[in-house]
Amino acid sequence: MSTAAGTTREGAGGDRPADPGRPVPTPGITLPVVALPTLALFLGSLAAWVGATALVLTGTDPWRYLVTVPVHALVTFAMFTVLHETVHLAGGRLRWVNEVLGRLSMLFVVAWAAFPMLRYLHIEHHRNTNEDTSRDPDAWTESGPAWSWPLRWMTIDLWYVRFYLPRIPSRPRAELVEQALVFLVVVSAFVATAVTGHGRELLVIYLIPQRLGIALLAWWFDWLPHHDLGETAQSDRFAATRMRVGWERLVTPLMLGQNYHLVHHIHPTVPFYRYQDVWRRAMSDWLDRPVPITTVLGSDLSPAEYRAWRRLTSHTDRDADLPNRPHPLRVTAVDRLTPDAVAVTLEVPGELRDVFAHRPGRHVTVGARIEGELVRRSYSICSTDGSVLRIAVRRVDGGRFSTWVGSALAVGDTLEVTPPSGQFVLPAGPRGDRTVAAVAAGSGITPVIAILTAALDEDPDRRAVLLYANRDTEHTMFADELDELVRRSGGRLTVVHHHSRSGAAGSAPDGTTRSVVPGRLGADRFAEHLTTLPVDDADWFLCGPPPMLDELVGVLDAHGVTPDRVHREFFVAPSGDDGDSGPTRPAVVTVRRGGQETVTRSRGTASLLETALDAGVEAPYLCAGGICGTCRAQVVTGTVHMQQNYALTDDEVACGAILTCQSRPTTDEVTIDYNR
């Protein structure tokens, strides 16, 4: 995405083994200042409640209740979505908007409960999904015999009280005071309404519809996504919640996005109206894991069956693979770039030229049948000619697709390729004549070389700069093509290679005139380049592993480069490359908090916050979604992968600050400190 937030794909040209401990790509969704669809849902629900209430108070036809009771019940259902969004601070980046909307919507869901209490209970559900009822309050919906479930759904708020009471001594005083005040005011209002002769109105406007709405919510939000799943959030967070797929144009608005409930549990701060986008952006990655998938009609599907089912239903289900329905393209060339990377050229037939027309920097999803199973991976396009598509694939140890491409793919084979997508592209309009400055690491060169080629070809006066980091000359992809581009540009393109395994500066070992700087391209070296290269008022394109890009963006910010001029495309580097965040793994975790040090073990799938809480540490937290910053800590030893971050600045992350609710260990030992 062409913002400072960037996007993450598994390699600008690579894949990784299907490891349930590896980090899921970031959702690539920028949280708005105010989530307007959420606000619109609140206002629309409020208007429906006012209209139905007016009909109860002014009408005389007893049949009117057949209309008003369902409307009031649906208002309870819709208002819960607003409440649910604000619990996770997904109502927007403004904290006060979430606090106000949460409290207002609470009145239409469970008026006697305070917003902070509900927030605590719901976050407990996320932390302990599918545990027993002593840990996961929502497990109440499927406990006991099946005949009791509707009664449980209708009374889940009463179970919440039972769950909350033993925890009162550990809850913050402000939360308890607000809960007591809300309870007294609401119960007093109910009693006053009843004793003044308006008990019938209270029943038909609130109490009866609210019971129906609560039952619908418990069934829809709790039972449907979680029932009969053996995994928990602690054992496998990707298998603790199911997807419900098919007929999305009808079901998604009907369920207010909760048919994609798994996406919500993995990315809780993503607004409900963007769940489907997140699923589509990284569908191959999701399907590499044993995620639970169920059709609308209740049939369970394995990831392989889901792919086959999508193909079978694509003619009736208009949402099936839109907007990325794949097309078969023939392989016309497989060229060796380095010992571990190849370039694959695909022919685009004339009738598909418009479909595959693209701006340089975009990517495609490529699929092939490997041992009978369709495997898909995303790769950046490194060509600018619309008649062909060229991608580069670097082999990854254990990478199923990349290994197959490097060893078995041949000219004449056919690959399934989706139309190009992505926002890592040259800006249009008045900024189109700026200098293009780029940083690429390893296979991050694949979108960058297309951007540089197009920028220089489109404008004979434009200048460009590339800083390119690799291990050594042997593993430098597109080295010869970059040399040719430098010659063809007539001095308008400057390329500086950084080789982390090179011993001395100068020319490349093969005798070319390439400028080679030994060592890693880090913040200090990057800052030096900014003082010597012609990059004033340039647009920056950065493609590489997240830790490296975080460093460089901090340098750009310190030099006054505004965020609108910085475009990032993340990738998870193959094991052994500089900047690899590595898969998450089991680890010994040391937690420092309040003058005490607690040593515990993490299975790697649980966040560091969950690990600390399970060890008895009174760790601070609120949203558990990477946005409020309450769970902030400092990494003292080891490394972690932080999945989402809306609260910390790049400088803070560079100094070791993390959000523990979003972080999981990537080394065998990790020490974090909440006191710093």
SS3 letters across 148-179: HHHHHHHCHHHHHHHHHHHHHHHCCHHHHHHH
What DSSP assignment string belongs to 272-328? GGGHHHHHHHTHHHHHTTT--EEETTS-EE-HHHHHHHHHHHTTT-TTSSTT---EE
| Alpha-carbon distance values, 492 to 429, 465, 486, 654 (Å) | 21, 8, 8, 33
Same domain, 565 and 614: no
Closest CA to 66 of 161, 273, 208: 208
CB 590 within 8 A of CB 599: yes
Q: What angle do CA 134, 137, 138 make, to 5 degrees?
A: 130
Same domain, 191 and 306: no
Same domain, 222 and 287: no
Of 258, 288, 313, which marks where a domain is finished? 313
Q: What angle do CA 671, 673, 676 make, to 5 degrees?
A: 145
Same domain, 657 and 600: yes
Q: Is residue 476 part of a domain?
A: yes
Same domain, 215 and 113: yes
| Alpha-carbon distance values, 31 to 36, 140, 231, 647 (Å) | 11, 32, 30, 11
Q: Which secondary structure element, helix H or strand E, spans residue 344, and what is its range?
A: strand 341-347
Q: Is residue 199 part of a domain?
A: yes
Q: Is residue 288 part of a domain?
A: yes
The beta strands (E) that lie in 12-57 are given as none
Low-confidence residues of the chain, pLDDT below 70?
1-29, 281-282, 284-285, 310-325, 398, 428-433, 502-513, 570-583, 604, 622-625, 627, 646, 650
Q: Residue 347 is part of a domain; what is its CATH number?
A: 2.40.30.10
**With 0-12 CB in 10 A as exposed, 13-18 as middle and 19+ as buried, what is 549?**
buried
- The Cα 80–Cα 626 span in angstroms is 21
- The Cα 456–Cα 495 span in angstroms is 13
- The Cα 203–Cα 221 span in angstroms is 25
- The Cα 257–Cα 253 span in angstroms is 6
| Alpha-carbon distance values, 554 to 4, 385, 530, 557, 654 (Å) | 11, 35, 13, 5, 8
Q: Is residue 238 part of a domain?
A: no
Q: Is residue 352 part of a domain?
A: yes
Of 506, 540, 571, which marks where a domain is finished? 571
- The Cα 563–Cα 530 span in angstroms is 16
Neighbour tally for 1: CB within 10 Å? 19
Q: Is residue 369 part of a domain?
A: yes
Same domain, 42 and 131: yes
- The Cα 36–Cα 352 span in angstroms is 37
Look at the alpha carbons of 46, 49, 53, 54 in this order and tell me if their dihedral is positive or negative.
positive
| Alpha-carbon distance values, 170 to 175, 358, 608 (Å) | 11, 56, 21
> Starting at the edge strand that comes first in sequence, how are the strands of the sheet with 293-295 ordered?
243-245, 293-295, 300-301
Q: Where does residue 380 fall: left (phi above 0), alpha (psi -120 to 50 degrees), or beta otherwise?
A: beta
444-469: burial string, b at 16+ Cβ within 10 Å, e else: bbbbbbbbbbbbbeeeeebbbbbbbb
Residue 171 CA, distance from chain mean position = 30
Closest CA to 251 of 276, 282, 277: 276
Of 313, 340, 370, which marks where a domain is finished? 313
Domains of the chain: total: 5
Q: Which secondary structure element, helix H or strand E, spans residue 470, and what is its range?
A: strand 464-470
CB 161 within 8 A of CB 187: no
Whole domain around residue 537: which residue ranges? 7-26+424-571
Q: Is residue 134 part of a domain?
A: yes
Same domain, 538 and 499: yes
Q: Is residue 578 part of a domain?
A: no
Same domain, 82 and 222: yes
CB 529 within 8 A of CB 496: yes
* pLDDT at 319 (0 to 100): 43
Cα dihedral 599, 600, 606, 608, rounded to 10, equals -10
Same domain, 399 and 506: no
* pLDDT at 511 (0 to 100): 46
CB 272 within 8 A of CB 628: no
Q: Residue 433 is part of a domain; what is its CATH number?
A: 3.40.50.80
- The Cα 266–Cα 390 span in angstroms is 33
Tens digit of pLDDT for each residue in 622-632? 666 676 777 88
Same domain, 278 and 349: no
Model-wide pTM > 0.75: no
CB 12 within 8 A of CB 73: no
Same domain, 381 and 334: yes
- The Cα 248–Cα 316 span in angstroms is 11
- The Cα 103–Cα 83 span in angstroms is 8
Same domain, 533 and 591: no
